[in-house]
Structure 1
Amino acid sequence: MAYPINYFKEDVSIDLRKLSPFKKWLISVSEHHQHKIETLNYILCSDEYLLQINQDYLNHDTYTDIITFDNRDDTDQPIEGDIFISFERVKENAVINKVTVDIELARVMAHGLLHLIGFKDKTDKEKQTMREQEDNALNFLQESTVSRGTL
């Protein structure tokens, strides 16, 4: 089955084929929120690559783990977006959060998708809601969907 989700990499070493099981899960997360995915691109990259995007497009001079670009003209349209993820930051945060890289990557991937669905994370209340939605999304992730510790 062809999924409308694509994976790319810039400046990092990762076997993108290992991410294939996430596709069905991401679709189920979007469907749970009554959204359809037209095209969703995940670009795993280095800290430096993402910093450059942050500087060039958002005028922020800080490292981050994720930047989400909504490519739709109208949020009522099916989801079309590009989500850049620092794989270096994901690996570091997995250690800090005492989870596998797979789970931390899934959380960040869900975070980007949730932004495209309409969730925000600027205020404390929004951050709490976003974290709850991330946890809900991870509940959709079946143990067999993603092999643990393979990234």
Structure 2
Amino acid sequence: MSSRNNKIQVQVFNESNQKPVPRTKIQEVVRRVFASEGIKEAEINVIIVTDEKIHELNLEFLQHDYTTDVITFPLSENPLEGEVYISADTARNQAVEFGITLTEEILRLAAHGALHLAGYNDATPEEKKIMSTLETKYMHAGQS
């Protein structure tokens, strides 16, 4: 499987004051999720933001008055279009908590957001377990 697919477009924007992982790694993870999940055409924006910004988005669009690590907005289904917002601040804190690098945590969150866009949910413990297993699979696939 090639990590380059011209019909799966992934753009990464850094709107935080954190130096995120290289854009190409985020793009590769999102493309890997979609290719493996049978999504052949997509336009996705991954936006790295601050805790303040993700809190604003969470409150405005989901009516949740708290900070979170990742929020996904599906915009259309065919072709798939969507946005994945990742909080660099929360990712940094979770990386420390989980004993992993910031890069690994941002890649996990990118995979998580892509899985939501691919139709997965994490409302129940079983769904969370499935998504967690897939996040790990996709963020480590292709690494030697």
What's the TM-score bracket when you normalise by the shorter of the two chains? 0.7 to 0.9
Structure 1 residue matching 2:132: 3-state secondary structure = helix
CA distance in 2, matches of 1:96, 1:15: 18
C-alpha RMSD of matched pairs (Å) = 1.8
Matched residue count: 139
CA distance in 2, matches of 1:55, 1:141: 36
Runs of 4+ that moved beyond 4 A: none
Preserved contact between residue 111 and residue 134 of structure 1 (Cα < 8 Å): yes
CA distance in 1, matches of 2:65, 2:142: 34
Structure 2 residue matching 1:82: 3-state secondary structure = strand
Preserved contact between residue 10 and residue 49 of structure 1 (Cα < 8 Å): no
CA distance in 2, matches of 1:118, 1:139: 21
CA distance in 2, matches of 1:15, 1:120: 26
Which residue identity lines up with residue 133 of structure 1 in the other structure? L
CA distance in 2, matches of 1:57, 1:29: 25
Which residue is equivalent to 2:72? 68
Structure 1 residue matching 2:107: 3-state secondary structure = helix
CA distance in 2, matches of 1:47, 1:105: 14
CA distance in 1, matches of 2:20, 2:112: 22
Preserved contact between residue 25 and residue 141 of structure 1 (Cα < 8 Å): no
Which residue is equivalent to 1:52? 56
Where structure 1 has 5 or more consecutive residues not aligned to the other structure, the ranges are 144-151
Q: Deviations over 1:1-50 (max 9, x none)?
A: 7661111122423267x222332332122111111242110110100110
Structure 1 residue matching 2:18: 3-state secondary structure = coil
Which residue is equivalent to 1:29? 33
The alignment's TM-score, normalised by the length of structure 1, stands at 0.84
Q: Indicate yes or no: 2:14 matched with 1:9.
A: yes
Where structure 2 has 5 or more consecutive residues not aligned to the other structure, the ranges are none
Preserved contact between residue 29 and residue 140 of structure 1 (Cα < 8 Å): no
CA distance in 1, matches of 2:92, 2:20: 15
Preserved contact between residue 12 and residue 44 of structure 1 (Cα < 8 Å): no
The alignment's TM-score, normalised by the length of structure 2, stands at 0.87
State the identity %: 29
**Structure 1 residue 141 displacement after superposition:** 4.0
